[in-house]
Structure 1
Amino acid sequence: MTTWFPVAVTLLVAGLIVGVMCTINMMIGPTRPSEIKSEAFECGNPPSGSAWGRFSVRFYLTAILFLLFDVEVIFLYPWAVELRYLGMFGFVEALIFIAILAVGLLYAWQRGALDWD
């Protein structure tokens, strides 16, 4: 039970802070609802067309590729931190990892996954 006490205190304090901030916001925050404020915000432009418009599949493909390569690059940070201890073995493994990523990027590029035509 003593090992979970700090966790319980942290959760209690976090909940208390959130509750106090929400209460203060409701008490002193301005509340002037209007029809304009209730509209969907689209970069300051007046809404045009349906909100259920379709996006091209290429948009999603580009987003997934960005996330894939972004997350994969994050795996290089632990290697960079521990490179001194891993020595040449760690360096070669990092190069193999980067080569696999480069082959994947070239494949996606050749298949036209990054074209917006």
Structure 2
Amino acid sequence: MTSLLINFILIMLISNIMMILCLFISKKSNYEREKASPFECGFDPKSSPRSSFSLRFFLISIIFLIFDVEIILILPSIINMLFIHSFTWMYTTGLFMIILLLGLLHEWNLGILEWTN
């Protein structure tokens, strides 16, 4: 019990010394108004929240999420290749890739992937 108490006191002492040293060593500076304000996607945080929002930015973020989920679903299929028949694996992975490719072609035809008109 005493060794546990000694260890606890030692840990608390070391952590307190480190925090006090950090307070003395840390560089304190006065930030300007611009540096102190948050930056959120180029919008002024003090402006009206009802201002116009670029729909293209929203669509690109949705496309990024879709392809991020695609990677999450494709990577385990490599491990599954060891446990299922090769034809079944090739069929399901190929079908998944074809569906994603058709979605990409559809987005391309709609012009969602173009930043400029």
SS of 1:30's partner is: coil
| CA distance in structure 2 between the aligned counterparts of 1:79 and 1:34, rounded to whole angstroms | 50
For residue 115 of structure 1, what is the aligned residue in structure 2?
114
| CA distance in structure 1 between the aligned counterparts of 2:58 and 2:43, rounded to whole angstroms | 20
In the alignment, residue 32 of structure 1 is paired with which amino acid?
S
Counterpart check, 1:89 vs 2:91: no
In the alignment, residue 56 of structure 2 is paired with which amino acid?
R
Q: Which runs of 4+ in 1 moved over 4 A?
A: 39-42, 52-55
Percent of matched pairs sharing the same residue: 29
RMSD: 3.1
Counterpart check, 1:32 vs 2:20: no
Counterpart check, 1:61 vs 2:59: yes
Distance 1:35 1:71, change over 3 A: same
SS of 1:75's partner is: helix
TM-score (norm 2): 0.62
For residue 69 of structure 2, what is the aligned residue in structure 1?
71
Find the structure with the greater CA-based Rg. 2
Counterpart check, 1:98 vs 2:75: no
Residues 47-71 of structure 1 deviation map (CA, whole Å, 9 limit, x = unaligned): xx96147542101101210121122
Residues 29-80 of structure 1 deviation map (CA, whole Å, 9 limit, x = unaligned): 11121436744487xxxxxx96147542101101210121122122111111
SS of 2:112's partner is: coil
TM-score (norm 1): 0.62
Residues matched between the structures, number: 93
| CA distance in structure 2 between the aligned counterparts of 1:63 and 1:100, rounded to whole angstroms | 20
Unaligned runs of 5+ in 2: 1-11
| CA distance in structure 2 between the aligned counterparts of 1:26 and 1:54, rounded to whole angstroms | 43
Higher RCO (C-alpha 8 Å, min separation 6): 1
